Structure 1
Amino acid sequence: MRSDEFIDLYKQLEDELEVKFSTAKQRRYSSVVFEYINHYESAPVRETLNLCREIRNLMTHNANLGGEPIVEPSEPVVEALREALDYVCRPPLALDFATKGSSIRCARLSSRVLNLMESMDKSGFSHIPVIEKEKFLGVFSVSTIFSCILRDPTLRITKETTLSQLGKMLAVEKHVENYAFVDEKTTCIEARRMFEKIRGRNKRLSVIFITKTGSRDEPLLGMLTPWDVMQDIRHTDEDPESPRKKNKRDAKN
């Protein structure tokens, strides 16, 4: 029966969330589901969980009236709960939405500045990581040129000018923009939250770089911009080629 399946799925949800919040120093609510509903990570499934929580309470505390069930969850409701449970168990990773390492446009210190600028203009890339001998040195962006000219008004960019001549201005610490490094297990919703936060001097993050453990000394696995996580991850299952849909297909095969 759908009612039995619904209750079973809800119990699985509670068990998963108990594990998730087992290390929390203090919980604000006795219901672990309600605790999660009030956690930022639940945003994509919050409405579904609120509905399912109400249905579950009615089914548990007021099971029937005159021998007839008060509430009988429909198949779409059961499916919605199933998808919410899947989200809790396997939240989409930031890396799923990032430009992958092999596709990231990188530069070297020997790269010519004007060539990079032309490439950025054609491709739409706004930030290019500078890598030398697999070591992350910094980022080349429009703001790099801006900062360099402010620092040295006599600076001339010719066809022969290379990134090495821009010196220390490539380092992320010298940029007017903010960057962050995260590990490969960072979720999409965590990355989105990072982009939404205001940092020093009223600046937001421009790019998040993803490496295995979040160290800048490791190879880049992915590069994430605010635009990459603007899509509502509640709807990624509608696209058969979305990372989440692919993961589901792989899990079944």
Structure 2
Amino acid sequence: MSNPTEGFIRTFEDIVREVNGRAGSPSSHSFEIERASERDGTVKKNRALLVYVRDVRNALQHPKHRSDGNAIEISRAFLDEVGALLNHLRNPPTANSVGVPRKEINTARLTDQLGDLADEMKRGGFTHVPILDERDTVIGVFNEAAVFHFLWAEPETIVGRQMKISDIFDSCSLDANRMETFRFLGPRTPLDSLIEMFLAVESPLTRVGAAFVTASGKETEPLQRLITPWDVLAMSTDV
């Protein structure tokens, strides 16, 4: 490109096409930011910057002054920022780029001992251990909340290091009545949807504790990725 201002105009045109497509009006001659914001979380999150970019473009292409030349000039840094915005709209972060992939997830089986799992969690600094069956599908989660749930449900009982997951599985199952729930998602779930999911309060005492990514978001499919609220918060600060 010959200069940043010309590059900005071309990038803006690409952004308009991207946003209008998300608005469901690909042939519109207007910049459909508001309509797209209502339908798309990525556009909504970047609405303020999109409006600013639109205003800069209007100042360039619809000047009010009579003198020659542009009243403003686009800097390389601003052009880079606008280009990054276009790339973000075209390739928004998804569930497949957040969290821990299957090969790095610490998992458990019904026959595993609680003491060994607790030691691994302490050494690794992780909080949720998915419990898998023979098909590699998630059937439960072992964490501190599960242990407390078991102790609360079974008065005058003791949790020993030699106990197995199967001994407390009622408190580890996905439908156990705990203060957190778990979701299953497809790999193309947008990061913005993940942020909303983890910030939402499902009840006065319940939030989503972790999300499991499978091929199409079904609970009956093998685990592909584990996502916790911390993974999403860390990722969201970079976009």
2:121 corresponding residue in structure 1: 120
* Cα displacement string for residues 182-236 of structure 1 (whole angstroms, at most 9, x for unaligned residues): 1100122221111111112342211111111111111111111111122364636
Secondary structure of residue in 2 paired with 1:72? coil
Corresponding position of 2:85: 84
Asked if structure 2 preserves the Cα contact closer than 8 Å seen for 1:45 and 1:234, the reply is no
Residue 40 of structure 1: CA displacement?
4.1
- Structure 2 CA distance for partners of 1:164 and 1:232, relative to 1, 3 Å: closer
Partner of 1:33: 33
- Report what 1:197 is aligned to: 200
RMSD: 2.2
The 3 A distance-change label for structure 1 pair 234 and 127 is: closer
Task: Give the direction of change, closer, same or farther, for the CA distance of 1:33–1:43 in structure 2 (3 Å limit).
Answer: closer
Q: For the residues of structure 2 that align with 1:125 and 1:206, how far apart are their CA atoms?
A: 13
User: Structure 2: any 5+ residue segments left out of the alignment?
Assistant: none
Q: CA deviation at 1:32?
A: 1.6
Number of positions where the alignment pairs a residue of Structure 1 with one of Structure 2: 230
Change (3 A) 1:182 1:153: same
Q: Is the counterpart of residue 220 in structure 1 residue 223 in structure 2?
A: yes
Q: Is the 8 A contact 1:63 1:69 kept in 2?
A: no
**In structure 2, how many angstroms separate the alpha carbons of the residues matched to 1:90 and 1:63?**
36
State the Cα deviation string for residues 123-156 of structure 1 (Å, max 9, x = none). 1111110001023211111011111111111333
Q: 1:137 to 1:37 in 2, by over 3 A?
A: closer
Q: Which residue of 1 aligns with 2:160?
A: 158
Residues 62-141 of structure 1: pairs in structure 2 closer than 5 A: 62=63, 65-133=66-134, 134-141=136-143
AA at the equivalent of 1:116: L
Aligned-partner SS, 1:155:
coil
Change (3 A) 1:81 1:6: same
2:182 aligns with one of 168, 179, 184: 179
CA deviations over 1:87-107 (Å, ceiling 9, x no partner): 000001222121111111100
CA distance in 2, matches of 1:99, 1:121: 17
1:62–1:125 CA distance, 2 compared to 1 (3 A) = same
Structure 1: distance between partners of 2:169 and 2:37? 48
Moved more, 169-178 or 208-217: 169-178
Q: Would the alpha carbon gap of residues 83 and 213 (structure 1) be closer, same or farther in structure 2, given more than 3 Å must change?
A: same
Q: CA, structure 1 residues 189+16, in 2 after alignment: closer, same or farther (shift >3 Å)?
A: same
SS of aligned partner of 1:185: coil
- The structure in which a higher percent of residues are helix is 1
Partner of 2:13: 11
Q: Does the 8 A contact of 2:179 with 2:205 survive in 1?
A: no
CA distance in structure 2 between the partners assigned to 1:71 and 1:34 by the alignment: 26
Judging changes above 3 Å, is the alpha-carbon distance between structure 1 residues 21 and 8 closer, same or farther for their aligned structure 2 residues?
same
Letter matched to residue 31 of structure 1: F
For residues 34-91 of structure 1, give each alpha carbon's deviation from its aligned partner in whole angstroms, at most 9, with x where no partner exists: 5446764246644542331110111122175322212221111111111100000000
> Paired residue for 1:168, among 164, 167, 170?
170
Structure 1: tracts of 5 or more residues without a match? 24-29, 237-253
Indicate conservation of the 8 Å contact 1:63/1:71, yes or no.
Answer: no
TM-score (norm 1): 0.82
Question: Match of 1:239?
Answer: none
Partner of 1:249: none
CA distance in 1, matches of 2:143, 2:231: 18
Q: What is the one-letter code of the residue matched to 1:128?
A: V
Q: Using the alignment, how far apart are the partners of 1:234 and 1:196 within structure 2?
A: 15
| 144 and 195 in structure 1: CA distance in 2 versus 1, 3 angstrom threshold | same
